[in-house]
Homo-oligomer: A and B are copies of this chain.
Amino acid sequence: MNAPPEFDAPFRARLRELLVWRRDVRRFRAEPLPAGTIERLIELACLAPSVGLSQPWRFVIVEDAARRAAIRRNFESCNAAALAAQDETRAGLYARLKLAGLDEAPIHLAVFAERDPAQGHGLGRLTMPETAEYSAVTAVHTLWMAARAEGIGMGWVSILDPKLVAEALGVPAKWRFVGYLCLGLPENQDDTPALERAGWECRRPAEAHILRR
């Protein structure tokens, strides 16, 4: 064990800024990221917590043009269905939202979770097997912040049919799809979510989400 670090007030203020300026990015500049960038970010993501130290996260770097096109078709189909499901007062606004950067983002990364990995020997998962996916989510969130700290934007696409994603990428049947990530240099930086800027939804104060028992 090395000497424990001290995290001081200036660092905590910068960490807060990182949280404030992390966005779900859907508008990317097309230029590529330097070779090795995504591998370095995945290495940081693997410092995330995982249930029973099972590290059930599975990262699929998607480079093949045909596979990317299949993901794009999957999104377009699911997004059309989501638009049709909107009530008519909001459909016009929904149709104007840009909800994925699949066309421009230089890096595509699909994230899965292995539901019952040998690693971890089942610890912590008996009553809550969904903690495998939750572990993969903490890895995604770690990657997101590490990327933002380098000026790299990330967007999480969930408007996809999970079964078709798994088929398009040819992953083992027991992997569960968690999310499809687009990464690249963002067109702009902002401290306000795109959905709030577009008038779709606004954030509530923290107290609205707290109960006491």
Chain A interface residues toward B at CB < 8 A: 1-2, 4-5, 7, 11-12, 14-22, 24, 39, 42-49, 51-55, 57-64, 67, 78, 81-82, 85-86, 90, 94, 97, 99, 110, 119-128, 130-131, 133-134, 137-138, 140-142, 144-146, 148-151, 156, 158-162, 169-171, 178-179, 189-193, 195-196, 200-204, 206, 209-213
Give the docked Cα–Cα distance between A161 and B162 (Å).
27
* Given known contacts A125-B158, A201-B119, A44 and B60 CB-to-CB distance under 8 angstroms: no
Q: Contacts A1-B192, A15-B145 given; 13 further ones with Cβ under 8 A?
A: A1-B190, A5-B14, A5-B18, A12-B149, A24-B49, A59-B211, A60-B211, A82-B122, A82-B127, A85-B126, A110-B213, A124-B159, A137-B141
Report the minimum CB–CB distance from A193 to chain B (whole Å). Answer: 6
Assess the B159–A206 pair: CB atoms within 8 A.
no
Can you list 6 contacts pairing A with B, beta carbon distance less than 8 Å? Answer: A15-B149, A20-B47, A53-B202, A123-B201, A134-B179, A138-B138
Give the docked Cα–Cα distance between A7 and B150 (Å).
7
Give the docked Cα–Cα distance between A189 and B24 (Å).
33
Assess the A201–B63 pair: CB atoms within 8 A.
no
* Given known contacts A39-B206, A158-B127, A211 and B171 CB-to-CB distance under 8 angstroms: yes
